[in-house]
Each structure stands twice: as C-alpha cells, then as structure tokens.
Chains A and B, each alone.
Chain A
Amino acid sequence: MIVSMTRRLLVFAGTVLAASAVIFGLLSVLPGDPAEVALGLGASPDELAAQRAEMGLDRPLAAQYLQWLGGLVQGDFGTSAVTGTPVGAELGSRLATTAVLIGSGMAVAVVVAVPLGVLAATHQRRPLGALLSGSSQVGIAIPGFLAGLLLITVFAVQLRWFPAGGWYRTGDGFGTLLGHLVLPALALGSVQGAVLARYVRSAVLDVMREDWMRTARAKGLSPARALRRHGLRNAAVPVLTVGGVQLGVMLIGAVVIERVFVINGLGSMLLERVATRDMIAVQGIVLVLVFAVLLINLVVDLVQTSVDPRLREAS
C-alpha cells in the first residue's frame, strides 16, 4: 500500500515537472520579447538590452527555466512585465473565485446526475428510463456557455430573478454571492450532470446484474432497499473516476463560463493576459490549471484505491 502510494506520488511529481517544462518551453520560444512589452515600443536597443539583462532574458533557456522553477517552489510566480505586479498574489485570489464556481458546479452536477442516472437504470426499458436517457443525451449536446446564455435570457433578462453577470465584492452579503452564483453554477453543472448521469446509469445497471445483488433480493430485500444497502456504494467506484475527470473538464469550462457571466476568476485572468501578451502571467496561470487537473487525477486515483480494495492488490 505504502509502496504503491509512494510510486504514484513520484509519478505525479515527474508528470508535473515535465508539464512545467513543456509550458515554459512553449511560451518562451514564441515571437514577442517581454522586455519590449515592459518598455513599450519607443525603447532604444541599449535600454532593451539592459532590461533583458535585468529580467534574466539574456541567460540560457535552461537557466531561466530553473530560476522560474526555483521561484515557483517558494510560491513566487514572477513579476508581470505588463502590469509590473507580482503574478502570484492575483493568481491566488482569482483561483479562489474559480474554486467556488467549480465547487458549486460540481454540486449541481451531482444533484442532477445521481437521481437521474439511478432512475434511468431502474426504469430501463420503460418510458421513464427512455425519457431520462434521451434528455441526458440532449443535455450533453449543449455546451456550457450556450446553457449560460439561455439561462441569462430567461432568468436575468425576462424574469429578472438573478443578475446577468458579475461577482460579489468584499463587504457584500452572502445573499449577493449566492445570487451571482446560481446561474453560472447551473450553466456549468447541469451539462456536466447530464454527462455524469449516463455513467451513473451504466454503473447502476452493471451492479444490478451482479450475483450478490440477486442474493440480496433472495434474502427478501426489496429492489430499492437492495440497491440502497448494497448497490449504490459499489456503483460509486466507477462514477467517482468520471466525477474527477469532470472536475478537470469544469475547470477548463469555467474559462468560458467566466467570460459569459463576467466573473473575475482564473479563466478571465487567462484571457485578459493572453490579450495583453503578458506571457509571464500566462505561464503561471496555465501551470496552475494543468497542476490542478493532475492533482485532481491523483486524488481520484488514491481515493479510488482506498474505496475499492481490489485495486490495492492489483497495483
């Protein structure tokens, strides 16, 4: 158990390191000189050379990478050449906003998916099951940002129940946060919920075919009780994996949703900094996003192993 965990952590560290090298390499070879961005167009060649030396751009790429990596370990993401402010502080507050958004989205997805998937499985080959499966197929086909635009049209523009966009500011009450959160969380979560529901359905169907479920029924448990007592826990294992993958999908989906609802999260920061060609900041944001995806996968892996003892022996 400890050996396999150590191995997973080492693989994780290696993957993160490789990903950071790819991100650094990709954004360093691009056309566009950060020193020029910092000084503006009117700078003389001498001024540019001095600025490049100050920013460490005259050193070999590998040395620059190691310096960047060394800073990262200490939580220093570097200083933006465009805004002149440290990247790390803004990353933190933006990430917090995005985390709230994704957390609520995931909650919506689970609330949608579990009942929908279980009912679709228990009512297989009946009209209700077909209807639920059909509606989750339609749900999957709707991109999150389209769901967002439709939600804004109905609930913000027509009914005026919720704001069409924006986020709460410090000092605003919890109600303001909730009001701003409802539509984006629904847009992000309902579509992912439709995807998740299909996996819940097929996991429950698989479980219902197991011999031990027949045994549970033979002991006199009703179908619903057998499912509650024995089935759902076992069906949760494959669903957990998909749920983890979806958390990563949502993180990227949030980039678009934040634009739709004008939310100052990590995604908006990425788009803003890409637009101003602030590559030091873009490097940091992309690294945080990729790191988060990898971390989610690791956690899912570890949780899955502890939930399902069979995987422990296999690894």
Chain B
Amino acid sequence: MTGPQRTAPATAARRPNTGILVGGGLVALVVLAALVSLVWTPHDPLPVVAADRLLGPGDGYLLGTDPYGRDVLSLLMYGARISLLVGVVAVAVAVLIGVPVGVCAGMSGGRADQFLMRVNDVALAFPALLLAIVLGAVFGAGVGTAMIALGIGAAPSFARVSRSGTLQVMSQEYVTAARAAGRGRLFVAVRHVLPNISGLVIVQSSVAFAIAVLSEAALSYLGFGTVPPTPSWGRMLQESQSYLASAPHLVVWPGLAIALTVLGLNLFGDGLRDHLDPRMEAGR
C-alpha cells in the first residue's frame, strides 16, 4: 500500500461512514425483531393450525402462513433470535480460543510460535460447516452443537489475525520501553497488546458473525441445526422446498431475512475497517 497519505482532519476520520450506518441499521433491525419476539409476536409461532395452511399474504397474516398453518412473520421474528444466538455464541467461542492462541504465538515467537501456527494450520483444514456436521453426528444435532462447532471452526482465523496484530504491536517502542521498565508479559499483553488489536478482532468478529449466520442457515436446512418444532430461517427454507410451485413466498421471506442480516454484518465490518484505518478506504 504505497499511496500518498490521506491528510483528512482527525475529526472527519472519526465520523461513522455509510457502511457502519447502513450495516448497523440493518443489524439493529434484526436485533429489534429478536427482542420484540421475546415478549410479542403477531401470532403464536409454534402451534400447528391445519385450517390456515399455506395462506397467501394478507388474510390476517401479514406475510402469509407456512405448510403447517404457522404465521410466517412470527416465525421470522423467532428465527432472528436463533440466528443471533448462534452468531453471538459462535463468535464468543472463536474469540476465547483464537485470540489467546494468537497473542501467545505473537508474543513468544520462535519455536512456540511455529508450533502454535502449525497446529493452527491443521485446524484451518477443517471447515466450520464440516466440523459442525461431524460433531452433530458424534454428539447429536442441535443448536448447541452447531454453535460450538462453528465457534471452534472460526477460531483459527482469529488466531491468525491476533498473531499478526500482536507482532505489529510488539515491534513498537512503547512495548520495548515497558519491557525495559520491568513489566511482565501478562502486563504487556493486557495493557498494550489487547487494546491495540481490539479493532482487528472486532472487524474479524463481524465477518465471523456473518459466516455463522450463513452456516447456521445451511445446517438447519440440512437438519443439523434447530430441532423441530423450534423454527429457524434455515429450517423454514428446508420446509419450503416441497412447495416451490404453489407457495414461492415461503422461500422469499426467510431468504430475504438471511441476506439482509448478512449484508448488514458485512457492510458494518467493512465500514468499521475503513473507519479504523482510513488509508484502506480507497483500496476496497
């Protein structure tokens, strides 16, 4: 990246950009839907109402009903809860495993670093979705297994990002100064390394969150996610497949929910990266 340095005033660089605003807005909408679903949904999303099967939009159901007579809007709101839960837990697991490994590797250097990164390379060869299917086979399918597996699957990428961030911080003079002043490793890690790599970790979190939402949808579609009758967006898509001719709206709504959530998370992550490092703005 060799370009002329952008010399925008510091205040202009701190203003949130369009990506953060639009992406954050979309994510906030999903969070709101999930929160509201805790206390209120237009209809009860769970019981089967045989008389109201496959109704179109309107008729007392804003977005129509599914093959079991359940209200699509209520199911979508409930599904938002599942998607966010899986995303939050998966990211938390990935951060808790990946960041310590990356920081340790970056701070120790030498053989320990090489060893940790080799282990990381082996772990990287197991795609999260495959891991979730295998662990689902071993421990039984369900949201719990899915989100832990997705978290473990995402951890190596966090280790990579934290390691390269740590290496950058460790080469700074203030770290040398802290070490010279007799500060211990733990102090340097907590006081200097973690705050300085937090931006990288947050950006990576929004990427991992988006991947977790996509993966949860795929897993639920395959039957490795939520257990019936708990609805999720992926399960709604699976149930819609037999009715593509008569009720195509059943694909459109959960599909739109997934796409907008992921779009929001990606825009937010990209926006945040540009915000934290304005020089990248022109490149992406």
Q: Across the interface, do B129 and A252 meet the contact criterion of CB distance under 8 Å?
A: yes
The verdict on A180 contacting chain B, using a C-beta distance below 8 Å, is: no
Chain B min CB distance to A261 (Å): 11
Minimum CB distance partner of B140 in chain A: A31
Q: Across the interface, do A293 and B255 meet the contact criterion of CB distance under 8 Å?
A: no
Knowing A142-B259, A282-B134, the reply to whether A149 touches B251 (Cβ < 8 A) is yes
Q: Across the interface, do B134 and A286 meet the contact criterion of CB distance under 8 Å?
A: yes
Chain A min CB distance to B271 (Å): 11
Most chain A beta-carbon contacts within 10 A, residue among B1, B137, B217: B137
Chain B residues near A289: list those with CB within 8 A.
127, 130
Minimum CB distance partner of B246 in chain A: A157
The verdict on A143 contacting chain B, using a C-beta distance below 8 Å, is: yes
Within 8 A of B (CB), among A144-186: 145-146, 149-150, 152-153, 157, 164
Knowing A22-B122, A138-B263, A157-B244, the reply to whether A146 touches B138 (Cβ < 8 A) is no
Chain A min CB distance to B126 (Å): 6
The one of A18, A143, A209 that contacts B218, using a Cβ cutoff of 8 Å: A143
Q: Across the interface, do A255 and B133 meet the contact criterion of CB distance under 8 Å?
A: yes
Q: Across the interface, do A293 and B136 meet the contact criterion of CB distance under 8 Å?
A: no
The verdict on B277 contacting chain A, using a C-beta distance below 8 Å, is: no
Minimum CB distance partner of B19 in chain A: A137
The one of B134, B221, B267 that contacts A145, using a Cβ cutoff of 8 Å: B221
Chain B residues near A271: list those with CB within 8 A.
133, 222
Q: Across the interface, do A252 and B122 meet the contact criterion of CB distance under 8 Å?
A: no
Q: Across the interface, do A149 and B240 meet the contact criterion of CB distance under 8 Å?
A: yes
Q: Across the interface, do B130 and A153 meet the contact criterion of CB distance under 8 Å?
A: no
- A137→B267 CA distance, assembly (Å): 8
Within 8 A of B (CB), among A12-26: 14-15, 18-19, 22, 26
The verdict on A52 contacting chain B, using a C-beta distance below 8 Å, is: no
Q: In terms of DSSP, what is the predominant structure of the interface of chain A?
A: helix
Chain A min CB distance to B96 (Å): 20
The one of A138, A206, A252, A256 that contacts B221, using a Cβ cutoff of 8 Å: A256
Chain B min CB distance to A312 (Å): 21
The one of B122, B210, B240, B248 that contacts A18, using a Cβ cutoff of 8 Å: B122
Q: Across the interface, do A15 and B122 meet the contact criterion of CB distance under 8 Å?
A: yes
Knowing A27-B134, A205-B282, A252-B129, the reply to whether A259 touches B240 (Cβ < 8 A) is no
Q: Across the interface, do A146 and B127 meet the contact criterion of CB distance under 8 Å?
A: no
Q: Across the interface, do B125 and A294 meet the contact criterion of CB distance under 8 Å?
A: yes
Q: Across the interface, do A153 and B126 meet the contact criterion of CB distance under 8 Å?
A: no
Q: Could you give, for residues 192-229 of chain A, a 1 whenever the CB lies within 8 Å of some chain B CB and a 0 otherwise?
A: 00000010001001100100000000000000000000
Chain B min CB distance to A228 (Å): 22
The verdict on A311 contacting chain B, using a C-beta distance below 8 Å, is: no
- A306→B129 CA distance, assembly (Å): 32
The verdict on B237 contacting chain A, using a C-beta distance below 8 Å, is: yes
Chain A residues near B237: list those with CB within 8 A.
145-146, 149
- A256→B219 CA distance, assembly (Å): 8
Minimum CB distance partner of B215 in chain A: A143
Q: Across the interface, do A293 and B214 meet the contact criterion of CB distance under 8 Å?
A: no
The one of A27, A149, A248 that contacts B127, using a Cβ cutoff of 8 Å: A248
The verdict on A96 contacting chain B, using a C-beta distance below 8 Å, is: no
Chain A residues near B222: list those with CB within 8 A.
255-256, 259, 271
Chain A residues near B195: list those with CB within 8 A.
none
Chain B min CB distance to A102 (Å): 14
Minimum CB distance partner of A294 in chain B: B125
Knowing A22-B122, A153-B251, A259-B222, the reply to whether A146 touches B259 (Cβ < 8 A) is yes
- A30→B2 CA distance, assembly (Å): 53
Q: Across the interface, do A141 and B260 meet the contact criterion of CB distance under 8 Å?
A: yes
Q: Could you give, for residues 271-297 of chain A, a 1 whenever the CB lies within 8 Å of some chain B CB and a 0 otherwise?
A: 100100101001000100110011001
- A259→B241 CA distance, assembly (Å): 11
The verdict on B266 contacting chain A, using a C-beta distance below 8 Å, is: yes
Q: Across the interface, do A26 and B122 meet the contact criterion of CB distance under 8 Å?
A: no
Within 8 A of A (CB), among B192-234: 210, 214, 217-218, 221-222
The verdict on B3 contacting chain A, using a C-beta distance below 8 Å, is: yes
- A79→B241 CA distance, assembly (Å): 35
Most chain B beta-carbon contacts within 10 A, residue among A26, A146, A157, A206: A146
The one of B129, B218, B241, B263 that contacts A141, using a Cβ cutoff of 8 Å: B263
Chain B residues near A153: list those with CB within 8 A.
244, 248, 251
13 A-B residue pairings within 8 Å (CB atoms): A14-B118, A19-B126, A27-B134, A27-B138, A137-B267, A143-B214, A143-B262, A145-B218, A146-B217, A149-B241, A255-B222, A256-B221, A259-B221
Question: Top 6 closest A-B pairs, CB basis?
Answer: A141-B263, A141-B262, A30-B138, A274-B137, A252-B127, A141-B259
Q: Which residues of A contact B (CB under 8 A)?
A: 11, 14-15, 18-19, 22, 26-27, 30-31, 137-138, 140-143, 145-146, 149-150, 152-153, 157, 164, 198, 202, 205-206, 209, 248-249, 252, 255-256, 259-260, 270-271, 274, 277, 279, 282, 286, 289-290, 293-294, 297
Given A22-B122, A209-B3, A260-B241, 4 other A-B residues pairs in contact with their CB atoms under 8 A? A30-B139, A137-B267, A146-B258, A255-B133
